[in-house]
A and B are shown apart, each in its own frame.
Chain A
Amino acid sequence: MFKTFRISFMLKNTYRTNAILHGIKQLPFIGKLIPDTVYGMPAFKIIAYVIAIIYEISTLLIWKLAYFFFFIALWTMIGDVSRQLQPEFFLHLLIPLTITGAFIHNFMFEAEKHKYYAMMQLNMDSRQFTLVNYFYELAKYFIGFLICGLLFGLILGLHIWECLLIPVFAASAKTLVCAYQINRFKRGKPVTNSSSLLKNGLLLIGLCLFIPGLYITGLLGFTIPRYASWAIIAFVIAGTALTCRSIFSFTEYRAMNKEILSSQLINQMDKSAQRRMIVDRNRKIISLDKNISSNKNGFEYLNELFIKRHRKTLWGNSIIITAVIAGLIILASVVCIMVPKVGSGLNETLMRSLPYFCIIMYAINRGMYFTQALFMNCDHSLLTYSFYKEPKSILSLFRIRLREITKVNLLPAATGGAGLALLLFLSGGTDNPINYAVLFVSICAMSIFFSVHYLTIYYLLQPYNAGTEIKSGTYQVINIGTYMVCFFFMNVKLPTLYFGLSTIAFCVLYCIIACILVYKFAPKTFRIRT
């Protein structure tokens, strides 16, 4: 057992050490200074090893402290819970959250890379490896809960014996869930962990109702009685004592781990499997309708077939967004007419809200999905042919695509812009009639801006390699920057007229510059990254 622990600990640290060195090598500027042979250089290895050990020790306490403070103690302050009720409130939150946590994040069922290396690649004894690792993590968890339970429990008025029982309860909850999951696996049911649980929509909705409900009832004074909390704790500890044998007697750890790791990790680690998954996913979005055809020629022919065979992906969301916007506008219009008081408030809001539409237009724009679909299902293959890389071909297709992407994005934008102008009119109108036009045109201009923006950076930076991975840091930085600029605009306080006119001017200028740049540079930059 000790040998297994030693090997698995060393393996995890080696993996972490190399991951740290790899991370440092990816840093801008500093990364360039570090040689490729860094993984074999003792000085760097020692530094990374020390960081890995510090990380391991820090995980013992940091997350637990954050958990006890942000999820429990902070709420006693927010709710101004009386001293007398604090222990009950503390247990009211701690017990359900800890039990939920035992299901959502249980070390035994998490897909982790070092587990894959040890059990699948190095063929270590799966039962020994799983149990040794589980009890090592459980010991860390116990210590963290012991320290935090004592610290926060005593501050919030619990008896010391109660504080000492908290880590026993927490560790028992985890182990009881292990026994439950193993029992499910024996009955042929799939093992669940954080990733699979979070993919379960029904469960997510349940959690979204349960957790806020827990806080709301607590803050309203409807807490679980203290005796009931201790009954639950006693039940969990007793349940663990009765069922934990099944963890030791279980022999199918390899099969169970294989299921956990293959469903999530092997695909992540095996690049060719990952590539196959991406290819398969993109193949599925191609329409199989045999009636699709085109009477056009050349690039217009290619484009029309692409749009028709990807209509659901390219136009589907745009149509849904448009329908939602139209629905909201109709609703707001009815409210404006029926309740004039609300209308006057809305009128004032509309005259100040244009800067917020930057982030809204950013969020609903389909530009990035459009360019992704273009690369995955069209350019990825055609860019390997010489004729497709000729400047004339690149520029003709750019023009056609700009038209298409603008159409897709303009539908919801024009609906929204026209709707806002209508709402402005219905809610009391404006002294300056130009405001109606500015609202409509500036929102359409924002939409055109995003369409041009995404297509331009796609043509100028072409971020994908042959394996359909994004390989351009600049592309990612520009995407983050775009989001930050849109976010920043929410704080801009300018009258609609001035903000709208500046937006229109900026968008026109940007589109001109972007098109010049594409015409000048895209024939050189629009290549598959190697």
Chain B
Amino acid sequence: MIFTIEHLSKRFDAKEVLRDISFSFESGKIYGLLGRNGAGKTTLFNCLNGDLKADSGIYTIQDTAGTRTPVPDDIGYVLSTPTVPEFLTGREFLKFFCDIHSGRIKGIRPLDDYFDYIGIDRMDRDKLLKDYSHGMKNKMQMLINIIAQPNLLLLDEPLTSLDVVVAEEMKDVLRSIKSDRITILSTHIMDLALDMCDEIVLLSHGVLEKVDKNNLDNNDFKDKIIAALKEETNV
């Protein structure tokens, strides 16, 4: 499966944030999206997720059945600040989600299996989500997106505010589900990008640009990425 962006542009008043972007992403890979503050990473995600109307551009998914425009079910979006309906318990949220998707998602399992998979304790499953910790809310958000089995998973700074244990658990989860989908992970943390991602893509000057690792070791690759990001300010 290939997800393709063609001629995507977005401007806010005089500032052109995304400039005629054309890029293709392949399934089975985690893409690390790097860019400086204000480069437009969240804007790009918002456009892809349909939360923000782009000025121009088309997106397509090409798979064995042919080429088509993505539908909302194709995209999963995990925000850095987890947003879950706080008036529901963890179990109620999961039940609601499974109800809505019954018949659309293959092989829905008992709810407790999902909680076991993501690592939420039995005693926490019937608590209101408003009483969940940040890490637990993040797990719930991730779990919903995993069950939905989106073809394109957008992760906006997903691990930044998690404690080290939860962050490691989440990394394992992301690695385990990467084979069937395209995962794009935006982050400021270079080590996380190098550790997790198969490809590094820079968002600079409003365009996406792949950084080839070639035969560089991690330190040289880091230097290359930083040099590329610095170029942006020197323009």
Which residues of A approach B to under 8 Å, CB–CB? 35-36, 283, 286, 288, 297-299, 301-302, 305-306, 309-310, 377-378, 380-382, 384-387, 389-390, 393, 527-528, 530
Contacts and interface: CB of A to CB of B under 8 A. Distances in A.
A36 B13 CA distance: 9
Contacts of A528: 51
7 smallest CB-CB distances across A and B, nearest first, come from A386-B72, A381-B83, A298-B99, A309-B87, A286-B87, A297-B99, A530-B52
Interface string B131-172: 000000000000010001010000000000000000000000
Interface string B67-78: 000001111110
B100 interface: yes
Given A384-B83, A385-B144, A530-B51, A298 B96 contact: yes
Contacts of B50: 389, 527
A201 B167 CA distance: 49
A384 B45 CA distance: 12
A381 B75 contact: no
B87 A378 contact: yes
Nearest to A279: B86
A33 to B, nearest CB: 12
Given A283-B130, A286-B86, A382-B85, A527 B73 contact: no
A297 B98 CA distance: 10
Contacts of A310: 87
B183 interface: no
A527 B49 CA distance: 11
A283 B129 CA distance: 10
Contacts of B76: 386
A381 B100 contact: no
Contact of A286 (B14, B73, B92, B128): B128
7 contacts: A35-B14, A286-B87, A286-B128, A305-B92, A384-B83, A387-B72, A527-B50
B73 A36 contact: no
Contacts of B13: 36
B215 to A, nearest CB: 40
Given A298-B99, A387-B97, A530-B52, 10 more contacts: A301-B95, A302-B88, A310-B87, A384-B83, A385-B77, A386-B72, A386-B74, A386-B77, A387-B148, A389-B72
A288 B77 CA distance: 30
Contacts of A286: 86-87, 128, 130
Contacts of A378: 85, 87
Query: Which of B14, B97, B144 has the most C-beta atoms of chain A within 10 angstroms of its own C-beta?
Result: B97
B27 interface: no
A442 to B, nearest CB: 36
A373 to B, nearest CB: 10
Interface of B: 13-14, 46, 49-52, 72-77, 79, 83-88, 92, 95-97, 99-101, 128, 130, 144, 148, 150
Nearest to A396: B100
A384 B137 CA distance: 14
A382 B101 CA distance: 15
Contacts of B74: 386
B186 to A, nearest CB: 15
Contacts of B72: 386-387, 389-390
Contacts of A384: 77, 79, 83
A378 B51 CA distance: 17
Contacts of B150: 386
A453 to B, nearest CB: 25
B130 A299 contact: no
A150 to B, nearest CB: 53
B8 to A, nearest CB: 16
Identify which of A36, A387, A527 gathers the most chain B CB atoms within 10 Å of its CB. A387
B120 to A, nearest CB: 17
A407 B13 CA distance: 44
Contact of B86 (A297, A298, A377, A389): A377
Contacts of A386: 49, 72-77, 148, 150
A36 B128 CA distance: 44
Nearest to A297: B99
A386 B51 CA distance: 10
A54 to B, nearest CB: 31
Contacts of A36: 13-14
B65 to A, nearest CB: 20
Contacts of A377: 85-87
A394 to B, nearest CB: 11
Nearest to A381: B83
A108 B97 CA distance: 55
A291 to B, nearest CB: 12
A35 B15 CA distance: 12
A381 B85 contact: yes
A297 B88 CA distance: 14
Contact of A380 (B52, B77, B83): B83
Contacts of B79: 384
Contacts of A382: 85
A387 B101 contact: yes
Contacts of A527: 50-51
Given A36-B13, A387-B148, A530-B51, A301 B85 contact: no
B128 A301 contact: no
A410 to B, nearest CB: 24
A377 B128 CA distance: 12
A382 B82 CA distance: 11
B40 to A, nearest CB: 12
Nearest to A387: B100
A173 B92 CA distance: 61
B100 A299 contact: yes
A378 B88 CA distance: 9
Contacts of A35: 14
Contacts of A387: 72-73, 97, 100-101, 148
Contacts of A380: 83
